[in-house]
Amino acid sequence: MFHNGFLKVATSSPKVSVGDPIANVEVMLKSLKVAQDHQAGVLVFPELSICGYTCGDLLFQTYLLQDVKKAIEILLERNPFDGVFTVGAPIAIHRNLYNCAIVIQKDKILGIIPKYYLPNDMEFYEERWFTRGYEIVKHYEEIEFLGRKVPFGDLIFDNYTYDLSFGVEICQDLWVPSSPSQRLALNGADIILNLSTSNEVYQKSRMRRDLVRIQSSKLVAGYIYCSSGVYESTTDGVFGGHSLISQNGTLLAESDMFSREELNVMFADLDISKIQFDRRRSSAFRQSAEDNMDFLQHVSFDLVENQNYTFEQPLDPTPFVPKSEEKEAFEEMMNIQMAGLAKRIEHTGAQTILIGVSGGLDSTLALLLAAKTFDLINMPRKNIIAYTIRGFGTSNRTNTNANNLMKTLGVTHHDIDLRESVLAHFETIGHDPNVVDVTYENAQARERTNILMNLANKMNGLVLGTGNMSELALGWCTYNGDQMSMYAINAGIPKTLVKFMVKQFMLRESQALTANDEDAKLLQYTLGDVLDTPISPELINTEQHTEEIIGKYEIHDFILYHMLNNGDTEDRIYALMKEAFKGEFEEEKLLEYLQIFYRRFYSQQFKRSAMPDGPKVLDISLSPRTDWRMPSDANYRRRL
């Protein structure tokens, strides 16, 4: 049901017998059993699901209302579900009939919520049978139903043990300009449940999908929407059972349309911790909540912690990397980076861009983006001055790849051997060149930057940085070496995304970037080899693999994502790592990587505090001018 901040939720749009509440409850009990077996904590049925939405004037009949009560009594007596669920039913209050949602846990009705806004146009005529709930909730906090006093009206349901809350609205309530869900979310509801019966006409499913997704984004909430299925279809109306589960603007699950399954149950995992983190982080949400603070009635419910929680979908081990619409994602990120660089060139009046090309992933991407940007602003590519700057550890493989890249892209290319100048520097500072230590390595990194900076002055140019967000997170860069540039084009994307971008260039852009087919083939081959080359700074004359020293970037990016994007604690990240990388890495190795990440992240903030400008590409950034404002000397205390 609930574990480590995740809540398993469900919808069921079951086969309905219109006008037969007893038969409908029998089917609902099957859905509840499935939800129980699947360890769900919340289940939502459609609007008026006890009797069927399309009852029409049967709603005036006494026997139907009596059968509704009997059916709910059966549901309470035989309920196999430990979680909370909602059903829709017509309920009479002082001779008026209300379209209501009933919230149930075990054999208890936790609360009843009336539908605020009734559609009464086109194919819907609810005002013929129902009174809208907008006014009555101002006068009643409870009603008597089935011989017991039940909370009624503006309700928020709270679990205080796990600090999560939900509210309920019904169908049309979502479609109005000022929906009840807005008030509920701004007063603490992390999740909104919507019992609906929405008919199908051309393009309406697309609008409904967008509406639910955008509402979850606006409310910074989970939104569970369950609509009646094909067995409600009658006369001129057709219903498709369109159910949706969304969180903070991301669609987590969507039902098949027009399913004829008897139960039609769908599950998803809501990340309550993520919802609450995003609300804390959003100043706009906090201000809106303050402006709309209200006193709503709160009702408690129980929630079971499940140590054997299973996820509906495998956890994504590379959450930064797009898994769908890859071409569109690539083009959008590429255009953001290009637009930022183009503006910097035009603003400064720079005539050239200088870039050190190592044959590794980062400098490859920076060079590709520079070439595209120069095409965009109608500057000749020969004004991109690229350098292979060979040091003590430069390999033939990377040097060959660097030369192939520069040749095929048509940029100006120079080769510099910095070994003599570094040896001279060693003599100046009294360093023994046979001592291969951090001084030996960093002197080369700083000399590369020094050369490029001074050449940029000579050529009225800008030094284009190549370092990425993952390196900044870990501090895996030399202060005032590769940490510094005049524009850091890759600073807004992590290593796994750098790899994605280079792969997309290989798949989609090789022909467009080169003058002829032979160059295109060579460029494509070279990009493939760059992708296959082990990541290395190549600063010593032996094999030097970065990921053998600090750990796999795939894992570090997973940690970075969950820390910055979700605000997760170390123990929660560790639990998610074990799930995402199950069978791939030993738990002890994952723990080691986690400790490396946090130790380096805290100790290396001073490098990020002095990082150059670079385009923000994702929702998160490590720039001290935008998303991440951390003191350089904050203490790290191990929490795991």
Q: Say which residue the tokens 């040896």 belong to.
A: 423
Give the C-alpha separation, 114 to 98, whole Å. Answer: 6
* Residue 323, number of CB atoms within 10 A of its CB: 9
Question: What are the beta bridge partners of residue 225?
Answer: 194, 244
Contacts of 210 (CB under 8 A, 6+ apart): none
The pair of structure tokens assigned to 275 is 């919802």
Report how far residue 486's alpha carbon sits from residue 56's, in angstroms, rounded to the nearest whole number.
Answer: 70
- Single out the catalytic residue among 15, 51, 55, 115: 115
Please name the amino acid found at residue 297: Q
Is 171 noted as a catalytic residue in this protein?
yes
Candidates 170, 145, 137; CA nearest to 44 is 170
Question: Among 515, 501, 135, which Cα is nearest to 338's?
Answer: 501
Are 522 and 408 a contacting pair, CB within 8 Å? yes
- C-alpha 558/C-alpha 590 separation (Å) is 11
Cβ pair 92, 136 in contact under 8 A:
no
Exposure of 420 by Cβ count < 10 A (0-12 exposed, 13-18 middle, 19+ buried)? exposed
Catalytic option among 51, 171, 226, 477: 171
Q: CA-CA distances (angstroms) from residue 165 to 155, 160, 161, 258, 288?
A: 10, 8, 11, 32, 18
Instruction: In whole angstroms, give the CA distance from residue 85 to residue 195.
Output: 11
Q: Is 57 strand, coil or helix?
A: helix
Q: Distance between CA atoms of 581 and 635, rounded to whole angstroms?
A: 29
**Other CB atoms closer than 10 Å to residue 399's CB: what's the count?**
17
46 burial via Cβ count (<10 Å: 0-12, 13-18, 19+): buried
Distance CA(468)–CA(92), nearest Å, equals: 63
List residues with catalytic annotation: 47, 115, 171
